[in-house]
Structure 1
Amino acid sequence: MKGPELRYSTAERHPACLSTTPLQVQQPKPYPLSPTVNNDRYPILSLINQCNSTKQLKQVHAQMLHTGLFFYSFTAGKLITASALSPFSSLDYARQVFDQIPQPNLFTWNTLILFLQLLHHCEHFPDKFTFPFVIKAASELKAFWVGNAFHGMAIKGSLSSDVYILNSLVHFYGSCGDLDLAYAVFVKTLQKDVVSWNSMITDFAQGGCPGEALELFRGMEKENVKPNDVTMVGVLSNCTKKLDLEFGRWVYMYMKCGSFEDAKRLFDKMQDKDIFSWTTMLDGCAKLGEYDEARHVFDAMPRKDIAALNALISAFEQNGKPKEALAVFRELQLSKDAKPDEFTLVCALSASAKLGAMDLGRWIDVYIKKHGIKLNCHHTTSLIDMYAKCGDLEKALEVYYSVERKDVFVWSATIAGLAMHGHGRATLDLFSKMLEAKVKPNAVTFTNVLCACSHTGLVNEGQRLFYQMEPVYGVVPGEKHYACMVDMLGRSGLLQEAVKFIEKMPILPTASIWGALLGACRLHGNIELAGQACSRLLELDPRNHGAYVLLLNIYARTGKWDRVSGLRKNMRDFGLKKEPGCNSIEVNGIVHEFLVGDNSHKLSKEIYSKLDEITAKLKSVGYVPNKSYLLQLVEEEDMKEQALNLHSEKLAIAYGLISMGPSQPIRVVKNLRVYGDCHPVAKLKSGLYDREIILRDLYGFHHFRGGNCS
């Protein structure tokens, strides 16, 4: 869009001003002026608002000098405002203009924020127009004591009730991280306008208090203050933290709060969709599980910046779709339009960890080093977590030792890595070193340490740490810690002690706590207690298929087939299905997934041929399948044996044997618990084929080597 045109002869130009494209207007003659000049009488003033470059502004400046209009403080102030506050502002030029004014008025001083000079040279005390500007400047610099002094001056000048000053102070204290003072000023603002509410909502949102931000928004509604676009931006990110549909409707965040159709209608009605709208729709689709729609939105986006790619990768990664997250990341690798940033790399590492995709995780590690990206704690924690969950504990420890300054998250991730690999003593040793380094453990640290004690039978050590959590370390035990204790006691066969522990807990037992007891009952075959635990669990979570499956396995192992049938009928009545076992294995950077009886793989023929070979070898060393682990009532004995052979982890291991070199470890990730017939078979395979097999399930790692398990 072109700016206004003003024409005058070369002789009429002020020598201090630059010329540019001519601007068209009638040239006024010199005239006397009063402080009430207006744009209608003197059209040159309206041209100031129409200028879109400093050069055009200088043309207007020259014309004002020629006519004498510049030498009145009111009109000169308008010129300074444009030069200092417009999109093409130049503070140097504004200061030059200011210095030419013989007697600048208060408005002019306000415009340039020459606050200290104003105090020394201006006859006027700063007014309600001055303070918002200087307080905003203090906010930008996060100069707490300076802004606090301005607050005191405003009170001294009897300006402490002015809404503009109070709004500025709310923003200032929030910017400096003092939410208590910001809220105190907000509460004292008697005549709150929408800016007042927006300032406090933004402070809460940016200060990590989403709940308070959303409650404040509800307060706006009660006070009949109509939110504007700034309000929506302030609460937008916070809606994702709460799935409150009715609240979501108020802030037009249907997508974030679960109403997909409402969001889609709203989105389709939008005439001008900016990148923020596209990204919000994309993020919401993925988070709601509308993955096809998310992909459709992504493909339809006119411009795919790194924010959009991050939204899709993050949504997939955080919602149990690591394979899809890595697929988008691979697209980013091939893209020339965007490059991964720090957030992308952390999300991709997390997805790699969940999927066991160590080749890609290694690529990211190399990428970070190649591009000289300085490792922060997020990167370090993600790398340790990735290597540990992909089965390479040595590499995880190598990353840990390479870091000079370790925060609680780095320590906790390394402790978790040792714990999931069954190194209980090493976990406790590292925890002791963490304390020696004066790093205070948090709730996550204790969860990891207690899990290590549970998996390795260190009951006394685990109990000692649990009862020290609050009095010694100031960490109040939560649901996960209580569940760890129940699991620890139960795994060690102390089932009655586990029951007594539950009865004495200061919190109500949750589904996870009853689930831990049920899992221990499965391990030790305690049918009656398992039935009680399952009943209590299903009271809290009636559709928990995992509880049914655990009890099914207990009944099947003990030959209670009538109970198996009854339980299966209950599952059918509730419309529940057992989650299918799925195992994945990464070969040459590609993750291959297998389900029970899967024949969809392109090498399916070779895989089943290898399975036949494995079965023959197992029989030759005297292995007899334990058919009691089958949940189905299969009549024929040969069909039972065939069903056992078709378990998905056996298919994955067979594929690893035919596709990977003899020196490469076979790393398999299972979505369920490894138990029953698969465990002894994996041990035998590691000996028969002289291969290292690393099997990860929901609860940790099994390292099979030479016919043994770690």
Structure 2
Amino acid sequence: MNTTTTTSFPPHLKPGESSTQSTLPSKESQKTILDILNTKCSNSLQRLRQAHAIILKTGHFQDHYVSGTLVKCYANHHFNNFGFAIKVFDYIPRPNVFVWNILLKGCLENNEPCKTLSSYYEMLVMNSRPNKFTYPTLFKACMAADGVKEGKQIHTHVVKLGLNCDAHIKSAGISMYSSFGFLREARQMFDGEGESDIICWNAMIDGYLRHGDVEAAKELFETMPDKNVGSWNVMISGFARCGMIEFARELFNDMTERDEISWSAIIDGYIKEGFFKEALEIFHEMQRENIRLRKYILSSVLTACANVGALDQGRWIHLYIERNSITVNAVLGTALVDMYAKCGRLDMAWEVFENVKVKEVFTWNAMIGGLAKHGRAEDAIELFTKMHRENLKLCGITFVAVLNACAHAGMVDRGLVLLNSMEEVYDIEPEVEHYGCVVDLLGRAGHLAEAEKLINSMPVKPNAAIWGALLGACRIHGNVEMGERVGWTLLDMEPQNSGRYALLSSIYAKAGKWDDVTKVRKLMKEERGIKTVPGSSMVDLDGKVHEFKMGDGSHPQTREIYLMLERILERLHIEGYSPNTSIVSFDTEEEEKETALRYHSEKVAIAFGLLNTKPGTTLRIVKNLRVCEDCHSAFKLISQIYNRDIVMRDRVRYHHFRYGKCSCKDFW
């Protein structure tokens, strides 16, 4: 480690040498210097350099506490100056264990876990004896570097030095072994010499849960002699991670004391399982409890807002961020961009994007993806080009976003050029998701044979999503022969996916092949017992999300909503609207087909919106499935009759209805 390097030390002074060598620094001056380093230099690199100069001039650099603290300050990852921290360390004469520990921790905090381990080796070579503060950092470094072999070796050093009874070392070792999946070794360390404190218990429980051993975690939790908030948080996070959100909620409700992590854990759990409304309800409860809202919680809640179209709640969070002067970093900025884009406010998404000072690749991806789903393909490609011009390292997700933009705009040639350029120009090997986008692009544009040819020539094995894109194209373009072949292939690949049965049934129904419709429905419901996913539509009104499903009469305004729907349909008929019954995938009387179309969830949602908002108010609807042709035609006419802007987000893209037209230009 102590090799010759160049530094910016004053040329007339050598490290450790003072201009007044006749007197050694006093304890009082040492304390003053340490106070300056710890209180004045944590946020200012300029002040740190000034303090550094004083330390050199006064001879305090010889003091390991001072020189070690100086290294710690330079190693602050906010300064992005870790290389200089190492140079300072290299000039420290005979660094003691305190200084070495600071270097090891600095390496880890600056995402240099391998450097942490190599520095430990040099520490041993230089005969500096590690202590109990050395090994927790090393175990964490092994976790970060996936250093299984090194972790075991370091564990043997701990045992040889007689430090295996230290609780901090034990908890770090348990976490390390658990991260490798070595639960037996983790448990041996937990049960070994020395008392396991509450942190060790929590680490062992977390290890079990991370590897799906719920019963072992529950048993350990129930036998804990003492529990703290962290113990409950570990269980809640673990249950949520294992998909057991009901059990996580029960534990959350049973807690007598909660902290910010408790709230964050249950909110994240609901979001992970797709229960976005429930996540928002917890967030509202959290607000009533006056819990401080930190960045990581706000980012999570913005994700929930994005998925249910809760624009009012998302805007409130944005205002909260501004009022409380919370710094909008790349993560929080990206969450805001994604929320506004998914809530139909592309203008506000763009404004946030422009104001994020340090944009990461994922920030650009969010904006490109938002433009793509709103049908703004040219703008998405322009932003993609700008991203490349600014020498940002593009990733696979970037290409998924821009290829989707081409698919939604029917830009076949541009999409094919982008796919072919991925490896040649950008050194990114296309993956199955990229081929899926291009299959979707070709299929939507009616090039079904080319799409199937691409699938058969792909260097990667096509998955169900790719065949699903082709099946959707077969339905759009009425290709029954190919649709039948692809559809039955998909039913073998994903026998539990109700959407595949519905799509194949729709293809048969459109062609009037009712016997085949019956065959598919019988296979789905009677033989395989699969239930269809009910269509649901959500409307955000005054900060509350209202959800509507076909045949659900639970809303307190149900009677008024359905009366309003009848009035809307009457006006539509006067204007020449005729229900598109060809999309109904069961053989019945025409009147029954019209009734089925009448109560689609998005029509009920639009009736609620018109009933509860002032004239001219933009209506925003989020649907969990694709919007059908009949509802799409009806919404165009409603926007004209009622002079309303309607923004609908279906499962794939956005539709902006205005003056009787849709932004998708009937291409979706």
Worse-matched range after superposition: 398-407 or 259-268: 259-268
1:694 is paired with a residue of what secondary structure?
A: strand
Paired residue for 2:52? none
Compared CA separation, residues 230 and 138, structure 1 to 2 (3 A): farther
The whole-number CA distance in structure 1 between the counterparts of 2:400 and 2:467 is: 17
1:507 shift after superposition: 1.0
Gap regions ≥5 residues in structure 1: 1-111, 118-129, 238-249
Matched, 1:544 2:497: yes
Paired residue for 1:556? 509
Compared CA separation, residues 204 and 632, structure 1 to 2 (3 A): farther
The whole-number CA distance in structure 2 between the counterparts of 1:259 and 1:414 is: 39
8 Å Cα contact 2:361/2:394 also seen in 1: yes
8 Å Cα contact 1:555/1:563 also seen in 2: yes
Paired residue for 1:428? 381
The whole-number CA distance in structure 1 between the counterparts of 2:259 and 2:414 is: 51
1:533 shift after superposition: 1.6
Worse-matched range after superposition: 354-363 or 282-291: 282-291
Matched, 1:139 2:109: no
Paired residue for 1:179? 145
The whole-number CA distance in structure 2 between the counterparts of 1:616 and 1:264 is: 59
8 Å Cα contact 2:116/2:141 also seen in 1: no
The whole-number CA distance in structure 1 between the counterparts of 2:556 and 2:569 is: 22
1:537 shift after superposition: 2.2
State the Cα deviation string for residues 532-554 of structure 1 (Å, max 9, x = none).
22232233322111111111111
Paired residue for 1:342? 295
1:258 shift after superposition: 5.0
The whole-number CA distance in structure 2 between the counterparts of 1:478 and 1:417 is: 21
The whole-number CA distance in structure 1 between the counterparts of 2:341 and 2:201 is: 37
State which of 566, 585, 593 in structure 2 corresponds to 1:612.
566
1:628 shift after superposition: 2.0
1:604 shift after superposition: 1.0
The whole-number CA distance in structure 1 between the counterparts of 2:170 and 2:483 is: 52
1:170 shift after superposition: 8.9
The whole-number CA distance in structure 1 between the counterparts of 2:153 and 2:501 is: 57
Partner letter of residue 125 of structure 2? I
2:620 is paired with a residue of what secondary structure?
A: strand
Partner letter of residue 179 of structure 1? A
State which of 149, 154, 158 in structure 1 corresponds to 2:124.
154
8 Å Cα contact 2:205/2:234 also seen in 1: no
TM-score (norm 1): 0.72
Compared CA separation, residues 172 and 272, structure 1 to 2 (3 A): closer
Matched, 1:395 2:348: yes
Compared CA separation, residues 204 and 381, structure 1 to 2 (3 A): farther
1:168 shift after superposition: 4.0
State which of 601, 621, 633 in structure 2 corresponds to 1:680.
633
State which of 613, 621, 625 in structure 1 corresponds to 2:575.
621
Matched, 1:508 2:474: no
2:648 is paired with a residue of what secondary structure?
A: strand
Matched, 1:327 2:297: no
Q: Percent identity?
A: 38
1:562 is paired with a residue of what secondary structure?
A: helix
Compared CA separation, residues 321 and 192, structure 1 to 2 (3 A): same
Paired residue for 1:532? 485
The whole-number CA distance in structure 1 between the counterparts of 2:137 and 2:390 is: 38
Paired residue for 2:51? none
State which of 553, 556, 565 in structure 2 corresponds to 1:602.
556
Compared CA separation, residues 314 and 185, structure 1 to 2 (3 A): closer
Worse-matched range after superposition: 647-656 or 459-468: 459-468
State which of 414, 428, 434 in structure 2 corresponds to 1:461.
414
The whole-number CA distance in structure 2 between the counterparts of 1:152 and 1:178 is: 20
1:469 is paired with a residue of what secondary structure?
A: helix
8 Å Cα contact 1:179/1:203 also seen in 2: no
Paired residue for 1:690? 643
The whole-number CA distance in structure 2 between the counterparts of 1:525 and 1:187 is: 62
Partner letter of residue 215 of structure 1? F
The whole-number CA distance in structure 2 between the counterparts of 1:501 and 1:405 is: 39
The whole-number CA distance in structure 2 between the counterparts of 1:578 and 1:150 is: 58
Partner letter of residue 138 of structure 1? L
1:296 shift after superposition: 2.7
State which of 159, 180, 185 in structure 2 corresponds to 1:215.
180
The whole-number CA distance in structure 2 between the counterparts of 1:397 and 1:495 is: 35
2:629 is paired with a residue of what secondary structure?
A: coil
Compared CA separation, residues 433 and 255, structure 1 to 2 (3 A): same
Matched, 1:665 2:618: yes
1:526 shift after superposition: 1.2
Paired residue for 2:594? 641
Paired residue for 1:472? 425
Matches for 1:303-382 after TM superposition, within 5 Å: 303-336=257-290, 338-382=291-335
8 Å Cα contact 1:169/1:185 also seen in 2: no
1:677 is paired with a residue of what secondary structure?
A: helix
State the Cα deviation string for residues 598-621 of structure 1 (Å, max 9, x = none).
222111111111111111111112
State which of 538, 541, 544 in structure 2 corresponds to 1:587.
541
1:142 shift after superposition: 4.0
Root mean square deviation, CA, Å: 3.6
Matched, 1:520 2:520: no
8 Å Cα contact 2:171/2:199 also seen in 1: no
8 Å Cα contact 2:206/2:235 also seen in 1: no
Paired residue for 1:284? 238
Partner letter of residue 145 of structure 2? L
Paired residue for 1:653? 606
Paired residue for 1:124? none
8 Å Cα contact 1:408/1:441 also seen in 2: yes
Partner letter of residue 603 of structure 2? K
Compared CA separation, residues 563 and 254, structure 1 to 2 (3 A): farther
Compared CA separation, residues 666 and 646, structure 1 to 2 (3 A): same
1:302 is paired with a residue of what secondary structure?
A: coil
1:657 shift after superposition: 0.5
The whole-number CA distance in structure 1 between the counterparts of 2:119 and 2:253 is: 53
The whole-number CA distance in structure 2 between the counterparts of 1:201 and 1:534 is: 52
Gap regions ≥5 residues in structure 2: 1-62, 69-94, 664-668
Compared CA separation, residues 625 and 300, structure 1 to 2 (3 A): same
Structure possessing the higher relative contact order (Cα contacts under 8 Å, 6 or more residues apart):
2
1:434 shift after superposition: 1.0
State the Cα deviation string for residues 170-200 of structure 1 (Å, max 9, x = none).
94596599938x7775576694557799989
8 Å Cα contact 2:368/2:402 also seen in 1: yes
State the Cα deviation string for residues 119-177 of structure 1 (Å, max 9, x = none).
xxxxxxxxxxx9655532332444999996774463255x8xx8x68994794596599
The whole-number CA distance in structure 1 between the counterparts of 2:178 and 2:255 is: 31
The whole-number CA distance in structure 2 between the counterparts of 1:264 and 1:187 is: 28
The whole-number CA distance in structure 2 between the counterparts of 1:296 and 1:392 is: 37
Compared CA separation, residues 526 and 348, structure 1 to 2 (3 A): same
Partner letter of residue 303 of structure 1? E
1:474 shift after superposition: 2.3
1:454 is paired with a residue of what secondary structure?
A: helix
1:476 shift after superposition: 2.1
8 Å Cα contact 1:422/1:455 also seen in 2: yes
TM-score (norm 2): 0.76
Paired residue for 1:299? 253
Worse-matched range after superposition: 294-303 or 591-600: 294-303
Matched, 1:442 2:388: no
Paired residue for 1:10? none
Compared CA separation, residues 567 and 196, structure 1 to 2 (3 A): farther
1:266 shift after superposition: 4.5
Compared CA separation, residues 451 and 268, structure 1 to 2 (3 A): same
Matches for 1:573-584 after TM superposition, within 5 Å: 573-584=527-538
The whole-number CA distance in structure 1 between the counterparts of 2:119 and 2:610 is: 73
Paired residue for 1:102? none
Partner letter of residue 567 of structure 2? E
The whole-number CA distance in structure 2 between the counterparts of 1:622 and 1:466 is: 44
2:349 is paired with a residue of what secondary structure?
A: helix
8 Å Cα contact 1:201/1:217 also seen in 2: no
Partner letter of residue 486 of structure 2? A
Worse-matched range after superposition: 213-222 or 648-657: 213-222
2:357 is paired with a residue of what secondary structure?
A: coil
1:623 shift after superposition: 1.6
